[in-house]
Chain A
Amino acid sequence: DQQVKQNSPSLSVQEGRISILNCDYTNSMFDYFLWYKKYPAEGPTFLISISSIKDKNEDGRFTVFLNKSAKHLSLHIVPSQPGDSAVYFCAASGTGSGGSNYKLTFGKGTLLTVNP
Chain B
Amino acid sequence: KAGVTQTPRYLIKTRGQQVTLSCSPISGHRSVSWYQQTPGQGLQFLFEYFSETQRNKGNFPGRFSGRQFSNSRSEMNVSTLELGDSALYLCASSLQDPLNEQFFGPGTRLTVL
Partner-B contacts on A (CB < 8 A): 4, 6, 32, 34, 41-46, 49, 89, 91, 93, 100-109
* Complex alpha-carbon distance, A106 and B102, angstroms: 13
How many of B's residues come within 8 Å of A, CB to CB?
Answer: 27
Once the chains bind, are B42 and A102 in contact (CB under 8 Å)? no
Q: Point out the residues of chain B lying under 8 angstroms from A46, CB to CB.
A: 101-103
The distance in angstroms between the C-alpha atoms of A106 and B101, with both chains bound, is 15
| Given A102-B31, A102-B48, A102-B50, A43 and B41 contact (CB-CB distance below 8 Å) | no
**Interface residues in chain B, defined as those with a beta carbon under 8 Å from any beta carbon in chain A:** 4, 31, 33, 35, 40-45, 48, 50, 55-56, 58, 90, 92, 97-99, 101-107
What residue of chain B has the Cβ atom nearest to residue A38's Cβ? Answer: B104
* Max count, chain B CB within 10 A of own CB: residue among A6, A34, A101, A102: A102
CB-nearest residue of chain B relative to A90? Answer: B42
List, in ascending order, chain A residues with CB within 8 A of B101's CB: 46
Question: Which residues of A have CB within 8 Å of B99?
Answer: 32, 34, 49, 93, 100, 102, 104
B44, A106: Cβ atoms under 8 Å?
yes
A106 in contact with B43 (CB, 8 Å): yes
